[in-house]
Amino acid sequence: MSIITNLSPVQYSNPLPESVDVVIIGAGIIGIATAWFLSKQGIKVAVCEKGRVAGEQSSRNWGWIRQQGRDEAELPIMMESLSIWDNLASEIGADIGFRREGSLYLCETEAELATYDKFLSFASHYGLKSEVIRTDKLYSLLTNTSRRWHSALHTASDARAEPEIAVTALAAACAREGVRIMENCAVRTIASSNARVDGVHTEHGFIKCSEVLCCGGAWTAALLHQCGIELPQLSVKASVATTGPAPMIFNGEASGSGLAFRRREDGGYTIAMTDYLEVFPSAESLLQFRRFIPLLRIAHKKLRLRIGDNLTARFFGSRSWREDDITPFELDRVTNPIPGQKTLARLRSRLDDRLPILRDVAITQSWSGMIDATPDAVPVMDKVTKIGGLFIATGFSGHGFGIGPAAGRIMADMIQNNNTGHDLSRFRFSRFSDGSKIIPGPSI
């Protein structure tokens, strides 16, 4: 694979439309999936992307499409998403590497296994078959390893895909359906009058519209701030690497003992550490810090605070601007953080220790991405009551790729005021301001 950066060729340089029905801000998996479903219903859509389609976390994630371990409110949406993934390749006419090969959460102790009791207590209520497996069955699935793990949570129906292929292929299908996608086209401000959206100011001019969906990932809070809307959002750097072709261990995705690995279509593995994330505070997240305390209590052992480098400077930049100002979005087309050498050395050591058969397999590529996390580690999917016609879909907290197609379907129906088919109360925007207790889901 080749990581998308601001040096990658622009694929979409459409002229700015004078008006559309819906403007979508952000061309990641959520924005592109929403555009796909709106276009199939005859809605005129423009997608404005400050950099490149899938340039940030939507192409930098692990490629897991899992139901296992989800927050209970997410699970039925994720199950719908998996059914969409089942047919997506044939619908868009592209091999996106989608395979149902299952997922494993590997456990060394009974106490570790017990942490999944809550998930198992409700999974079957939704018709999901997740099960605890032990040594004999576990090692019939997991080959070429020492018997480090004594049990696992297993969901055979889970899947995987290649993120950098899947999202760009779906974008191409959207373009064929008439969606106007514009790269290098940052939205600077959202325009409204009489508490109602009437368009967006982009770096290239104004687009008139009646609905706007903001799904800009780690950049969402900064844009909403211009509308007087404060979204609590934490930016978390996660580092990932790939290996060269390697012996078969497991054909799906697995994590255990601080290491996550996923079989790739090229015969290698996508690998990452599950207990090492770097946190980069923004001005907004510092102001909203108290809302993150419940999550930080749960996840603090895996988080490392980072202040004083260029990433922090980007997020601490000017917080307010006008539609004719150059904005941080244009100054940072594609955020491309680089894993530190200590991080890579730690990952290499973790890989060699957990999966000794891969000791002689080279790490061929590494990269980092910025996860946008909410205080409860579940997304916002809602309309904004303060400004009619404004919608938010963000904060997927590191697990947006798999759920993305169903989230896009939901947002397409929400924008059209249709029944979304799910209870979305857990994902309402007002939970951060109405006095609700913040209850973290499975942590980032």
- 105 dihedral zone (left: phi>0; alpha: psi -120 to 50; beta): beta
Count the Cβ atoms, other than its own, within 10 Å of residue 115. Answer: 13
**How many residues are listed for the chain in this entry?**
444
Cβ contact 256:149 at 8 Å: yes
Per-residue pLDDT at 333: 97
What pLDDT is recorded for position 386? 95
Looking up tokens 């619908």 gives: 91
Which is nearest to 2 in space by CA: 365, 401, 244, 347?
365
- Pull the structure tokens for residue 205: 């001019």
For residue 416, which amino acid is it?
Q
Instruction: Give the sign of the dihedral formed by CA 212, CA 213, CA 219, CA 223.
Output: positive
Q: Give the pLDDT score at 4.
A: 92
Query: CA–CA distance from 140 to each of 66, 254, 350, 433 (Å)?
Result: 21, 14, 23, 49
The predicted pLDDT at position 57 comes to: 96
Who's near 329: CB < 8 A, 6+ residues apart? 50, 186, 187, 188, 219, 222, 223
Q: What is the distance between the alpha carbons of residues 55 and 45, in angstroms, rounded to a whole number?
A: 20
Shortest CA distance to 67 belongs to which of 76, 54, 56? Answer: 76
Provide the pLDDT for residue 113.
Answer: 98
Residues 285, 295: Cα–Cα separation, whole Å: 13
Q: Is the dihedral of CA 282, 284, 287, 289 positive or negative?
A: negative
Q: 87 φ, ψ to 5°?
A: -105, -5
pLDDT in tens, the chain (444 residues): 678 999 999 999 999 999 999 999 999 999 999 999 999 999 999 999 999 999 999 999 999 999 999 999 999 999 999 999 999 999 999 999 999 999 999 999 999 999 999 999 999 999 999 999 999 999 999 999 989 999 999 999 999 999 999 999 999 999 999 999 999 999 999 999 999 999 999 999 999 999 999 999 999 999 999 999 999 998 899 999 999 999 999 999 999 999 999 999 999 999 999 998 888 776 666 777 788 888 888 887 888 877 755 554 555 455 789 999 999 999 999 999 999 999 999 999 999 999 999 999 999 999 999 999 999 999 999 999 999 999 999 999 999 999 999 999 999 999 999 999 999 999 999 999 999 999 999 876
pLDDT in the model for residue 316: 45
Using alpha carbons, select from 90, 30, 35, 97 the residue that is nearest to residue 58: 30
Q: What is the CA radius of gyration of the chain?
A: 21
The CB-side HSE value for 142 (13 A sphere, CA atoms) comes to 31
pLDDT of 375 reads 94
Pick from 394, 379, 391, 344: nearest CA to 365:
344
Q: Which residues contact 253 (CB under 8 A, 6 or more apart)?
A: 62, 63, 64, 66, 101, 102, 103, 104, 158, 160, 260, 261, 262, 263
The pLDDT of residue 306 is: 78
